[in-house]
Amino acid sequence: MNTIRLTVAQAMVRFLACQYSERDGVRQRLIPGCFGIFGHGNVAGVGQALLQAHESGEADLKYYLTRQ
């Protein structure tokens, strides 16, 4: 067994991307994406973890930039 070293943000992105629900035989993602404005006091490292997961294909969790 190999040990995988992750930051909390990387582990959170992977965990959320693996959550599914099933109803009437149809399986779909429980959390299809997240909203945020990075650089405004949000948790450090989450943006980088989302980008890394998207680029590597490990966990494709969509990010939606919110604006006024």
Question: pLDDT digits over 2-61, tens only?
Answer: 998 999 889 999 999 989 999 999 999 898 888 877 766 556 688 888 888 888 888 888
Q: What is the pTM of this model?
A: 0.74
Residue 46 lies in domain: 8-65
Handedness of CA 33, 39, 43, 48 (dihedral sign): positive
Asked if the structure places residue 39 within a domain, the reply is yes
* Overall domain count for the chain: 1
- 3 state DSSP class of 68: coil
Asked if the structure places residue 43 within a domain, the reply is yes
Phi, psi of 52 (to 5 degrees): -60, -45
State residue 58's pLDDT score.
Answer: 81
